[in-house]
Amino acid sequence: MASAVFVLDLKGKVLISRNYRGDIPMSAVEKFMPLVLEAEEEQQAPTPCFTHEGINYLYIRHNNLYCILFKKEDIHRSLRYFASSTINLLHLLKTVLALTKKNSNATTILLFLHKLTEVFTEYFKELEEESIRDNFVIIYELLDEMMDFGYPQTTETKILQEYITQESHKLEIQVRPPMAVTNAVSWRSENIKYRKNEVFLDVIESVNLLVNANGNVLRSEILGVIKMKCYLTGMPELRLGLNDKVMFESTGRSPTRGKAIEMEDVKFHQCVRLSRFENDRTISFIPPDGGFELMSYRLNTQVKPLIWVEAQVENYTGSRIEYTIKAKAQFKRRSTANNVEIYVPVPDDADTPKFGNSIGSVHYAPEKSAIVWKIKQFQGGKDFTMRAHFGLPSHCLLISRLHAYICPKIVEDPEKKPPIGVKFEIPYFTTSGIQVRYLKIVEKSGYQALPWVRYITQNGDYQLRMPESIKNNKMSFI
Amino acid sequence: MTDFRIPKPKFFTTTKKGHLTLLASLQSISTRENYELKSDLNSEYRDRRKDAIKKVIANMTVGKDVSGLFPDVLKNMQTEDLEQKKLVYLYLMNYAKTQPELVILAVNTFVKDTDDGNPLIRALAIRTMGCIRVEKIIDYLCEPLRKCLKDENPYVRKTAAICVAKLYDLNPALATDNGFVATLQDMVSDSNPMVVANAITALAEINEASETKDIFVINITTLNKLLVALNECTEWGRIAILTALAEYRPVDEKEAEHIIERVVPQFQHVNGSVVLAGIKVVILYMRVIKTEELIRQLVKKMAPPLVTLLSSVPEVQYVALRNINLILQKRPDILQHEIRVFFCKYNDPLYVKLEKLEIMIKLANDKNVDQLLSELKEYASEVDVDFVRKSVRAIGQCAIKIEESSERCINVLLDLINSSNTMSDMANSKVNYVVQEAIVVIKDIFRKYPRKYEGIIPTLCKNLDALDEPEAKASLIWIIGEYAEKIDNANELLESFLETFREENVQVQLQLITATVKVFLKKPQKSRDIVQQVLQIATTDCDNPDIRDRAYVYWRLLSTDPQAAKAVVLSEKPAISVENQSISGPLLDELINHISTLASVYHKPPESFLGRGTFGADAVQRRAIEEQEEESRESPIQEQVKNENLLDLDFSDTSATPTSANPPSAVSPFSESTSTNIDDLLGLFGNDTKFGTTANSSTTPAGSSATTQSNALNDLVSLI
């Protein structure tokens, strides 16, 4: 359990805090930033939990800047992307910190802190110094309601919003704790009404890929999520049928059409009855109102990388560098990938870019030290080539040429070698072949509700490591 | 949804730059402001009073001392406005400690509120009363608490359940004598899952704090209640129940099987903490299970959820990796085909990368080693020094762990040395650390496979001048001494160190003495001079008793019986090995009991990092007053620093005790835990055993123990 929770600003100063157990001196927080910086100076990665003088510090970093720029599920990814360039970025991040004196459950506390930022973000759209200051009254109320004596309590935004708002106080009616707070169904309120009952299902598969510099696939993994938007009256019982191989096997039936898929690991929203799933693989639940993530799954199947990128780099000693990038869409012809963006890293000091491309648009993004090749529509089976040419000013110095002349193995800083990244979206298509077979909706009032299903495949963590550049030692005298 | 961003009156004063003046923690509010607030708090207009309260809280938030307004704020406690009530309560919680006398005035309203028609207010009152850690208020807490525990509304009951734990924390006798603890035990059978979960949470906490540890004992009936509630409560409630189940010891295999069956579905929960809590239960219960087949199945079931944890937020990934590290030591077969999921991504945070590296080594075998080596080589060319070093070290560990791969490992290391050398020629000394690390690692490979890779010694010796880290230097010197007969100019190489002998690090000095003696024993003619010189300097010019003593021991040995010296100094060394199990058995079992907690993250038993004793209510109150006094006057910085250091030393002392209880020899040289900042603070012994063992086998036993000691001493000294 947590003794106290703090939200800190970029410099480590306390924006707001709550002392839950009164068993530690609140001044312990002042040691936090110095300790983290000290660890960084000593070339050690500051870990998310550490202990100092009998007090344990557990913290997460939340970046308000990137909340606005990225979709929610992208936040962490983008955070991680930049995390390796440590110190500078650290100061863009806001820290949410918990202190504890006991041997507490670290996973619980860290997840609670994430939940806390999630709730704040859903309440205030963004978590910034400004929004914290403007809403300190609500934040105190939320901190009081979400954790008691250091133990997490109600953390569902939708339910909290029913009794912690500023609006309701303006009315003279006093709010009461919604039934849902303590119910077995703690995520849905009663008395929800819709004129038109509808359910939208989005099956989104993100492909994680890691390819080494020789073009061998090291890892490929599909992370799927099924997102739902429920606009349903009352307390509906839902049952979702997928072409799940294990279920077909256990019931002894075979899928009527298409193949069945084998999911490696499945995770469900807390509304799903886990024991039922364990028994007969039925996914049955009473959904929360509105949008939520029903389930996620993971498949470790080796699939052909959907978008394959090959890079050839030629480095003309100290003067210029040339890239030849080949991209290939390795999926069925009738599918099309939309908004494809290929990021090719180039040296930080590259300048005077020249591009030659048969399709799409190319531009140089110096702030990312990368070429961005955008292709609006990329049909399956096609391949395209792009060439880029950069000057390298800092290597133009005669000295470095001389060096290069003497020592044929080229000057190359062991700079960070970021991989090629690819973004894409392929609609109406899932890599795994997962299908929603049915969604049954039963409510005691007996209404009919329409389910809408949409499939999409997109990039996840999609990285292809850059090959070594071909060293070209021809001296090109100016 | 409501938009909360509507313009509101500002309650904070900001500086020009728009930043809060947070240094305000040392100030109290100005007299004028104080006066204004005071009059507003006593205003006849409701809105003005409420605004004033908000201003007070805003001041409190930025750390200004507004405790002086205590009586004025207190007057506003009785109100119909829920928001205002919450703010006053918040104020009370913060300042009650400093105004214990005045808190009594609030008791009446509190007691009245616990009788309110609105359950939200009843719960709020009982929750807040429990948070006011003042002795005087505790006596008044009992009656309302008794009522609230029996409240018809589950929201009030679940809040009251936690309140019992609060009361027990302040005054155990009072909580027990009033029968509250017994009521909690009954509440495990409550019809509402959230109440059950909180009752369990409270009981678990009380049980841990109690002296008898018999407050929360699970029997057949409670067991069934827990299993039923497990499927109905919130994610946090599930964690509480699973944690309680982990404490339970099933009576027989059948019962264990039954509970496991109910727990396994929780692996599918989206909350990673629920998953880990479930895995903990299963791992612990597996101790009871004898059926091989069932164990195999369970191990198989645990792998996918563990892998999925690596897709969660980085902080949780870190905790998961630390736990996987433990689980792998207990059940090495659990993720044997999954090494690829631990390959590092470019954008992984450093702390995740380092943990993944550790696990990759644990999973390395002759089938995947090629792939692993090409990964490690890739990592060795990254930017982060710490990660690069650990990657190089990992290559060495592969070589020692998997004999068939040793040659490939050596080649990779030579590649790295060569390419770093060409790079550092080009005025880039940054990569030098790759060479240093590689040499340290090669020394270990030499120890594992003596006389197998002598061919590369010339390449290594070429780098002698480039070395500036003690460990790398010492490693190369050890190699020179060990293979003196193969190195023509061994004596010259060592001689080059003599001039600077006095400035060298202790580690290097010790190795120099030993290596010189070895060279002398192998080539007496060529090195008579240097051995004399070294022993002379070591015995006359060195202040370090370890160095002096070792030199004396050698000297005596050489002068009395050179043959005996040979037998001792040049004896066969025991081979080293990489153990998958880097934590000793009993400690590992204890840590497995603590899966998902901080102990499992630090890989240290809880008592090693927890502060001693508990702060009682009095102590905290005293502390709060002291703190404020301290804040108001400027304390001399000197004194503070000194104080901190004393604490530091004291702290690491206690933490080292349990580690040192294990004989250092049980820890393999490769078992050092990742040097996170914590580990380095704590792992005094983890670090030095590494070289200590090397010295161990290359010197006389007497000398070796001295080395270890001196290193420890050295570390202690460096701490100060």
Question: Is a pLDDT exceeding 80 seen at residue B666?
Answer: no
Confidence of residue B622 (pLDDT cuts 50, 70, 90): low
What gap in Å lies between CA B304 and CA B306, rounded to an integer? 5
* Helix or strand (DSSP H, E) at B285: helix B272-285
First to last CA, chain A: 68
Number of compact structural domains in chain A:
2
Q: Which chain A residues touch B4 with a CB distance below 8 Å?
A: 123-124, 131, 134-135, 138, 166
Confidence at residue A11, expressed as pLDDT on a 0 to 100 scale = 78
Residues 216-235 of B with CB under 8 A from A: 231-235
The token duo for A216 is 């061998």
Domain closes at, from A161, A181, A201: A181
DSSP label of A29: G
Domain map of chain B by residue range?
22-248, 618-719
Are residues B83 and A169, on separate chains, in Cβ contact within 8 Å? Answer: yes
What gap in Å lies between CA B353 and CA A80, rounded to an integer? 12
The CATH number given to whatever domain includes residue A27 is 3.30.450.60
Are residues B598 and A418, on separate chains, in Cβ contact within 8 Å? Answer: no
Q: Is pLDDT larger for residue B14 or for residue B403? A: B403
Confidence at residue A316, expressed as pLDDT on a 0 to 100 scale = 81
What gap in Å lies between CA B188 and CA B210, rounded to an integer? 19
Confidence at residue A207, expressed as pLDDT on a 0 to 100 scale = 92
- Across the A:B interface, residue pairs with CB atoms under 8 Å apart total 353
Q: Which of A56, A165, A181 sits opposite B2 (nearest CB)?
A: A165
Confidence of residue B10 (pLDDT cuts 50, 70, 90): low
- Is B123 near chain A, with CB under 8 Å? yes
Q: Is pLDDT larger for residue B305 or for residue B519? A: B305
Q: Which segment of A178-192, A404-418, B181-195, B244-258 scores lowest on mean pLDDT? A: A404-418
Residues 467-506 of B with CB under 8 A from A: none
Please give the residue of chain A at the shortest CA–CA distance from B644.
A53
Q: Which of B192, B304, B425 sits opposite A264 (nearest CB)?
A: B304
Digit-coded pLDDT (tens) for B113-138: 999 988 999 999 999 999 988 888 88
Q: Which chain A residues touch B617 with a CB distance below 8 Å?
A: 22
- Helices and strands, number each (H, E), in chain B: 36, 0
Residue listed under structure tokens 């309110």? B116
B471 and B477 Cβ atoms separated by less than 8 Å: no
Would you write out chain A's pLDDT as a tens digit for each of its 478 residues? Answer: 899 999 988 778 888 999 999 888 888 899 898 998 888 787 677 899 999 888 999 999 876 432 222 222 333 333 333 333 332 333 345 788 988 888 999 999 999 999 999 999 888 877 777 788 888 889 999 999 999 999 999 999 888 988 887 654 444 456 777 777 777 778 888 888 999 999 999 999 999 999 988 888 988 889 999 999 999 999 999 999 999 888 888 777 766 666 788 888 999 998 999 989 988 889 999 999 999 999 999 987 777 899 999 999 988 876 888 999 999 999 999 999 999 999 999 888 888 899 988 889 999 988 888 999 999 999 999 999 999 999 887 544 444 444 444 443 333 444 567 899 999 999 998 989 899 999 999 999 889 888 999 999 999 989 999 888 877 665 444 3
Burial class (CB in 10 A: 0-12, 13-18, 19+), B210: middle
Interface residue of A103, A185, A264, A300 to substitute, partner B, most B CBs within 10 Å: A103
B92 and B132 Cβ atoms separated by less than 8 Å: yes
Confidence at residue A91, expressed as pLDDT on a 0 to 100 scale = 35
Burial class (CB in 10 A: 0-12, 13-18, 19+), B541: exposed
Q: Which chain A residues touch B386 with a CB distance below 8 Å?
A: 43-45
Report the alpha-carbon angle A323-A327-A328, nearest 5. Answer: 155
Domain closes at, from A163, A181, A199: A181
B189 and B225 Cβ atoms separated by less than 8 Å: yes
Are residues B627 and A27, on separate chains, in Cβ contact within 8 Å? Answer: yes
Pick the closest to residue A97 from A169, A18, A176, A156 (CA basis). A18
* Whether residues A442 and A404 fall in one domain: yes
First to last CA, chain B: 57
- Is A76 near chain B, with CB under 8 Å? yes
Pick the closest to residue A164 from B57, B158, B152, B2 (CA basis). B2
> What's the one-letter identity of residue B234?
T
Confidence at residue B12, expressed as pLDDT on a 0 to 100 scale = 63
Phi and psi of B442, rounded to 5°? -65, -35
- Is B185 near chain A, with CB under 8 Å? no
What gap in Å lies between CA B461 and CA B458, rounded to an integer? 5
Residue listed under structure tokens 């100290």? A318
- Is B126 near chain A, with CB under 8 Å? no
- Is A126 near chain B, with CB under 8 Å? no
Residues 366-385 of A with CB under 8 A from B: none
Phi and psi of A354, rounded to 5°? -135, 135
Confidence at residue A341, expressed as pLDDT on a 0 to 100 scale = 95
Are residues B169 and A21, on separate chains, in Cβ contact within 8 Å? Answer: yes
Shortest alpha-carbon distance between residue B502 and chain A (Å): 27
Confidence of residue B706 (pLDDT cuts 50, 70, 90): very low
* Helix or strand (DSSP H, E) at A119: helix A106-124
* Helix or strand (DSSP H, E) at A64: helix A64-69
Are residues A296 and B422, on separate chains, in Cβ contact within 8 Å? Answer: no
Domain closes at, from A124, A152, A181: A181
* Whether residues A240 and A287 fall in one domain: yes
Confidence at residue A442, expressed as pLDDT on a 0 to 100 scale = 92
* Whether residues A149 and A269 fall in one domain: no
Are residues B120 and A175, on separate chains, in Cβ contact within 8 Å? Answer: yes
Confidence of residue B676 (pLDDT cuts 50, 70, 90): very low
> What does each C-alpha distance from A117 to A112, A422, B544 come to in angstroms?
9, 29, 55
- Is B648 near chain A, with CB under 8 Å? yes
Confidence at residue A72, expressed as pLDDT on a 0 to 100 scale = 29
Instruction: Return the exposure string of B101-116: e unless at least 16 CB atoms fall within 10 Å of the residue's CB, then b.
Output: ebbeebbebbbebbee
Q: Which of B54, B265, B374 sits opposite A278 (nearest CB)?
A: B265
Pick the closest to residue B573 from B443, B413, B397, B402 (CA basis). B443
B119 and A174 Cβ atoms separated by less than 8 Å: no
Q: Which of A1, A9, A137 sits opposite B83 (nearest CB)?
A: A137
Confidence at residue B715, expressed as pLDDT on a 0 to 100 scale = 41
Pick the closest to residue A205 from A232, A184, A226 (CA basis). A226
Residue listed under structure tokens 């993994």? A221
> What residues form DSSP beta bridges with B606?
none
The CATH number given to whatever domain includes residue A336 is 2.60.40.1170
Alpha helices in B75-153 (DSSP H): 82-95, 100-113, 119-131, 135-149
* Whether residues A265 and A226 fall in one domain: yes
* Whether residues A45 and A100 fall in one domain: yes
Pick the closest to residue A231 from A274, A272, A186, A290 (CA basis). A290
* Whether residues A359 and A328 fall in one domain: yes
Please give the residue of chain B at the shortest CA–CA distance from A211.
B345
Digit-coded pLDDT (tens) for B447-466: 888 888 888 888 888 888 77
Q: Which of B61, B314, B346 sits opposite A418 (nearest CB)?
A: B346
Please tell me whether the interface predicted TM-score (ipTM) of this complex is above 0.90.
no
A19 and A9 Cβ atoms separated by less than 8 Å: no
Could you list the residue range(s) of the whole structural domain that residue A301 is in?
187-478
Digit-coded pLDDT (tens) for B684-702: 343 333 333 333 333 333 3
Q: Which chain A residues touch B622 with a CB distance below 8 Å?
A: none
Please give the residue of chain A at the shortest CA–CA distance from B272.
A107
Q: Is pLDDT larger for residue B640 or for residue A268? A: A268
- Is A102 near chain B, with CB under 8 Å? yes
Residues 396-415 of B with CB under 8 A from A: none
> What residues form DSSP beta bridges with A362?
A373
The token duo for B228 is 């039923």
Shortest alpha-carbon distance between residue B87 and chain A (Å): 8
Shortest alpha-carbon distance between residue B490 and chain A (Å): 30
Confidence at residue B283, expressed as pLDDT on a 0 to 100 scale = 95
Give the CATH superfamily of B22-248.
Leucine-rich Repeat Variant (1.25.10.10)
* Whether residues A193 and A177 fall in one domain: no
What gap in Å lies between CA B60 and CA B672, rounded to an integer? 46
Digit-coded pLDDT (tens) for B389-401: 999 999 999 999 9
Are residues B383 and A414, on separate chains, in Cβ contact within 8 Å? Answer: yes
Please give the residue of chain A at the shortest CA–CA distance from B626.
A25
Pick the closest to residue B76 from B61, B55, B98 (CA basis). B55
The token duo for B600 is 């499992």
Q: Which segment of A316-320, B146-150, B439-443 scores lowest on mean pLDDT? A: A316-320
Are residues A81 and B8, on separate chains, in Cβ contact within 8 Å? Answer: no
> Could you tell me the sign of the dihedral formed by the alpha carbons of A114, A76, B231, A235, in that order?
positive
The token duo for A345 is 């890293």
Whole-prediction pTM value? 0.82
Report the alpha-carbon angle A118-A283-A267, nearest 5. Answer: 40
Digit-coded pLDDT (tens) for B353-378: 999 999 999 999 999 999 999 999 99
- Is B100 near chain A, with CB under 8 Å? no
* Helix or strand (DSSP H, E) at B392: helix B385-401
Interface residue of B89, B353, B678, B679 to substitute, partner A, most A CBs within 10 Å: B678
- In the sheet that holds A283-285, the strands lie side by side as A283-285, A237-242, A436-442
Shortest alpha-carbon distance between residue A334 and chain B (Å): 31
* Whether residues A146 and A162 fall in one domain: yes
Pick the closest to residue B212 from B178, B166, B249, B181 (CA basis). B181
Q: Which chain A residues touch B347 with a CB distance below 8 Å?
A: 77, 80-84, 461, 463
Q: What is the 3-state secondary structure (H, E, C) of B289-353?
A: CCCHHHHHHHHHHHHHHHHHHHHCCHHHHHHHHHHHHHHHHHCCCCCCCCHHHHCCCCCCCHHHH
Q: Is A69 helix (H, G, I), strand (E, B) or coil?
A: helix
Q: Which segment of A62-66, A116-120, B54-58, B485-489 scores lowest on mean pLDDT? A: A62-66
What gap in Å lies between CA B713 and CA B716, rounded to an integer? 5
Residues 305-364 of A with CB under 8 A from B: none
Confidence at residue B638, expressed as pLDDT on a 0 to 100 scale = 35
Instruction: Return the exposure string of A287-305: e unless at least 16 CB atoms fall within 10 Å of the residue's CB, then b.
Output: bbbeebbbbbbbbbeebeb
